[in-house]
Chains A and B, each alone.
Chain A
Amino acid sequence: MNAIEILGLTKEYRGRRVVDALELSVPAGELFALLGVNGAGKSTTIKMLSCLVVPTEGDGLLMGRSIRTDSRRAKEVLAVSPQETAIASSLTVRENMELMAGIYGRSKGQVDQVTAQLGLKQWAKQRAKTLSGGWQRRLSIAMALVSQPEVLFLDEPTLGLDVLARRELWGVIRELKGHTTIILTTHYLEEAESLADRVGIMNQGRLRAVGTPEELKTLAGCVSFEDAFVALAGEEAAS
């Protein structure tokens, strides 16, 4: 079953198409990485699929629920961990988790489970603003997970983190694979290569190539994934 169906999704701002007739299917449990240079249309795509931006044309189905005509039910199955760390800074770690559980009608048992799963138990009583950047990002992902989403959007989850913190978060994300459908946007190509089942490369609002990292390397005739990305994204940008 496909968790996400994108059907001609388009967004125009004052006549300028920033996302252009996107078509994509993502099977349940897959981790799909969306790559592209700045302004490629990744963030707008994620915002449309998260029901934060209304599409100009087309539609997206999350577990069969339309983001245009059934956004209230679509929101029940999705969660977002935004690029900026989105936490309530004066609340403790546990209070942040309980807030999200309350909003989605989840139990305190679910809070306990996700707190343990993401290794946040030791910080549970600490105010969120006193955590390091890496732990704040981990809390931000935990807040998304506490709602037990079927579709999870991770927008640049490791941006600005040091190598160790980034690797730790990769471990967390790997554990989610198979259970939750994840759309990951990132500028770190090694992150996409390491984590993603499939990768989509966007440029100028269009999806230029889709495949596993190996398939994209073969398609571009390159040995490294970075060269493949540059070839596929750059070539299309020049055309």
Chain B
Amino acid sequence: MRVKAFAKRNLKEMLRDPLTMFFGLGFPMVLLLLMNVIQRNVPVHIFELNTLAPGIALFGLTFLALFSGLLLARDRTSAFLSRLAASPMTAADFLLGYLLPMLPVAVGQTAVCLGAAVALGLPLSWNLLAVAASLLPSALLFVALGLLCGTLFNDKQVGGMCGAILTNVTAWLAGIWFDLSLVGGPFRTVAYMLPFVHGADGAKAALAGEWAVLPEHLMWVSAWAAAVMVLAVWLFRRRLVER
């Protein structure tokens, strides 16, 4: 009951923010359209829909970190979280309340992005459902990163961390716009130690039906998501009550 009430509030706060709607749903679609137009006007194959669409669907999920981080940071820096912390809500209630409303947003984002890709010519197949499913660990990862930042920083800092740094890091290190092998060396090594490229590669593999490589990518992202979530929960619990 407590989680439901709090999750409902968080979903409303998000959906009533026009920036959420633009960055969450509109921006990835604009990117997809733009890249598709570029592809049609260049002779080489750089932005093919079958690799671009899963990558941009992953990129769109980075905004979940911004949404969850801002929500938590605003609650924490205002007295709202103090009011709720004095209520019977537990740390688990709080985190589930922040996490659960992000999932329908993630599903909606992915559906809009893949739907736009289909409209632009991506063949309609059951594998699109597998792409959406393969992106769930990435969605959890970005929400966990947002909660971590929201626990540690104020809303302006979260805007910088999640809105600027994280989106850029994901954009460059996920292999969305270019094949990381083209750069190679330490850049590629570091990128493959981080979860972002695995999220994108997993979604690409799901679309292509390359099931054998999918578990490795999913496990890599899931391990990162779990580690970041544990850290976020631990810090949040410590900060909820002053010792």
Contacts and interface: CB of A to CB of B under 8 A. Distances in A.
A and B bound? yes
Interface of A: 47, 50-54, 72, 75-76, 78-88, 90-91, 95, 98-105, 143-144, 147
B79 A147 contact: no
Interface stretch (B5-13, B61-69, B177-185, B229-237): B5-13
Interface stretch (B82-90, B145-153, B165-173, B199-207): B82-90
Contacts, number: 83
B6 A52 contact: no
A88 B5 contact: no
Q: A interface, by DSSP: helix, strand, loop or mixed?
A: mixed
B1 A86 contact: no
B118 to A, nearest CB: 33
Interface string B8-38: 1100110011000000000000000000000
Interface in B88-102: 88-90
Given A47-B242, A53-B242, A86-B80, A99 B9 contact: yes
Given A86-B78, A91-B13, A102-B1, A75 B83 contact: no
Given A75-B86, A102-B5, 19 more contacts: A50-B86, A53-B241, A54-B241, A76-B88, A80-B82, A80-B86, A82-B79, A82-B82, A84-B79, A90-B16, A90-B17, A98-B5, A102-B4, A103-B1, A103-B84, A103-B87, A103-B88, A104-B88, A105-B2
Nearest to A73: B88
Given A54-B242, A72-B88, A84-B78, A143 B83 contact: yes
A101 B1 CA distance: 10
Kindly name the residue among B17, B84, B86 whose own CB sees the greatest number of chain A CB atoms within 10 A.
B86
Contact of B243 (A54, A81, A98, A144): A54
A87 B90 CA distance: 19
A86 B88 contact: no
A81 B8 CA distance: 22
Contacts of A91: 9, 12-13
16 contacts: A51-B86, A54-B242, A79-B86, A79-B87, A80-B86, A82-B83, A83-B79, A84-B79, A85-B79, A90-B12, A91-B9, A99-B9, A100-B87, A102-B2, A103-B84, A143-B83
